[in-house]
Amino acid sequence: MSDITSEYQGKATMEKITSLAKRRGFVFQSSEIYGGQNGAWDYGPLGIELKNRIAQAWWKEMTQLHDDIVGLDAAILMHPRTWEASGHVENFTDPLVDCKKCKTRFRADQIPPENLAAKKCPECGGELTGIRKFNLMFKTHIGPAEDSASIIYLRPETAQGIYVNYKNIIQSNRMKIPFGIAQIGKAFRNEIVTKNFIFRTCEFEQMEMQFFVKPGTDVEWFNEWKKRRWAYYEKLGVKMDSLRWHQHGADELAHYAKDAYDIEYLFPMGWRELEGVHNRSNYDLSRHTQYSGKDLQYIDQDNNNERYIPFIIETSAGLTRTLLMILCDAYDEEKVAGKGDGGTEGSGDDWRTVLRFHPVVAPTTVAILPLMKKDGLAEIAQDIRNELKEDFATGYDQAGAIGRRYRRQDEAGTPYCVTVDYETKDNGTVTLRFRDSMEQIRVPRADLAERLRKEIKAYKRIK
Ligand code: ATP
């Protein structure tokens, strides 16, 4: 394991995560053969499986398990007035300074205050420009004319697509307050600083749920959603001591927000925001009422047609940022006895890299490995794979020593391996090997699917 140096042995670092992600086909740099595109990443075969499963887990949690939440998939391109109403045209800015000498660009709030005061570049000591406001929205033109009337933005968040559809959804789906709308989709921000792998990118995906409530019940619902979102991460098997709440202070609180908390995760570079849970008051629907001229009040037919503009409780998580969190959280290096676990080459202690994904999000749930290619074992293994693939994400590997193949599956985060050997031919049993404990048991082939289902349901992370 060449990338495990003694100083960092056993620890997750961003370098190791980035290198594993590339090596195993989770995440590649966008257009790498041209030198890469800043702020954009491509999800490879394992990455897209992981991303899809994280999205599915969130979607299930938010829609299937909540009778009062429905889904939506709104367009990325929206009427430009949307972004005036939302405040993004005016306020969605970062304060920027440039170094006149080395031309490096900084976010003014991210360099030491003394440098800012002395207008001195923290990199080269050159002179800094004054602070300019830089809007983070990607702006382009729609149609053949490139004039101001054709300006259109790539959405910087998915939430506005939900707000502008709230009335449609009430009417088409007869929703009654309180209810929520969930959406997963791409968002774009012209971020200036995009370091830390996929943490902050210009193109990313969000998983947002906007919950519409009666004014006066908002505090109660806000607390309820804080509880639910915390419980969700617990269910996903995330290390709970790596999560914490951060309440926005007066200086961070958006002007419209009544209260805001972030769920922060302890990434290798420190505590950073993973998800926001916000009480947005009635700001959004009031603004859209004002800018569209449409009445967006809710009419409470069960309560003498009482009218009001709902308050909104928002839960807003980054899908791609959650994927990074899951990678960091799952990453482990473990010392294992040299000859154990099917025998890796050499003797003495060995290290294995293992991604301890919850089986619900693991890219491959079960890998089928014939001990030998010959004597019909490969054919039996293929047969078993065919039996399982309708219900499980399966993998297959017949190359190399069995111990090495287990390591490869560990590194890809596959929670279960099924090994077909000569005993399988004799008595129809296979070896079921568990990623986390490396325990191996014999299971009749006929019981495999049921056993796997049970294991997935009962999964508890042991380390
Ligand atoms: P920051 O202050 O870090 O720029 P934010 O507070 O503006 O983030 P929100 O607008 O609340 O973030 O977005 C909600 C979620 O979307 C964030 O918690 C994060 O998970 C994700 N997100 C936001 N910006 C990015 C980005 N540039 N790249 C990846 N994920 C992002």
Give residue limits of the domains in the chain.
6-72+160-328, 94-135, 346-457
**Does 224 contact ligand 1 (Cβ within 6 A)?**
no
Q: Ligand 1 test: best mutation among 51, 54, 91, 200, most atoms within 8 Å of CB? A: 200
The closest-lying atom of ligand 1 relative to the alpha carbon of residue 316 is 14
Pick from 179, 165, 170: which is nearest to 74 by CA?
165
Q: By alpha-carbon position, which residue is closest to atom 21 of ligand 1? A: 318
CATH class belonging to 94-135: mainly beta
pTM of the model: 0.94
* CA–centroid distance, residue 318 to ligand 1 (Å): 6
* CA–centroid distance, residue 95 to ligand 1 (Å): 17
**Does 206 contact ligand 1 (Cβ within 6 A)?**
yes
* CA–centroid distance, residue 268 to ligand 1 (Å): 18
CB atoms within 10 A of CB 305: 8
| Rounded Cα distance, 340 and 448, in Å | 24
**Does 275 contact ligand 1 (Cβ within 6 A)?**
yes
The closest-lying atom of ligand 1 relative to the alpha carbon of residue 201 is 28
* CA–centroid distance, residue 186 to ligand 1 (Å): 12
**Does 39 contact ligand 1 (Cβ within 6 A)?**
no
In CATH, the architecture of 6-72+160-328 is: 2-Layer Sandwich (3.30)
The CATH classification number of 346-457 equals 3.40.50.800
Pick from 386, 381, 388, 332: which is nearest to 365 by CA?
388
CA distances from 43 to 21, 24, 204 (A): 9, 11, 11
**Does 419 contact ligand 1 (Cβ within 6 A)?**
no
**Does 201 contact ligand 1 (Cβ within 6 A)?**
yes
Amino acid letter for position 109: D
| Rounded Cα distance, 279 and 274, in Å | 17
Instruction: List the chain pLDDT tens, one digit each, 463 residues.
Output: 444 445 667 788 999 999 999 999 999 999 999 999 999 999 999 999 999 999 999 999 999 999 999 999 999 999 999 999 999 999 999 999 999 999 988 889 889 999 999 999 999 999 999 999 999 999 999 999 899 889 999 999 999 999 999 999 999 999 999 999 999 999 999 998 778 999 999 999 999 999 999 999 999 999 999 999 999 999 999 999 999 999 999 888 888 888 999 999 999 999 999 999 999 999 999 999 999 999 999 999 999 999 999 999 999 999 999 999 999 999 999 988 765 555 444 445 688 999 999 999 999 999 999 999 999 999 999 999 999 999 999 999 999 999 999 999 999 999 999 999 999 999 999 999 999 999 999 999 999 999 999 999 999 988 7
Q: By alpha-carbon position, which residue is closest to atom 11 of ligand 1? A: 276
**Does 204 contact ligand 1 (Cβ within 6 A)?**
yes
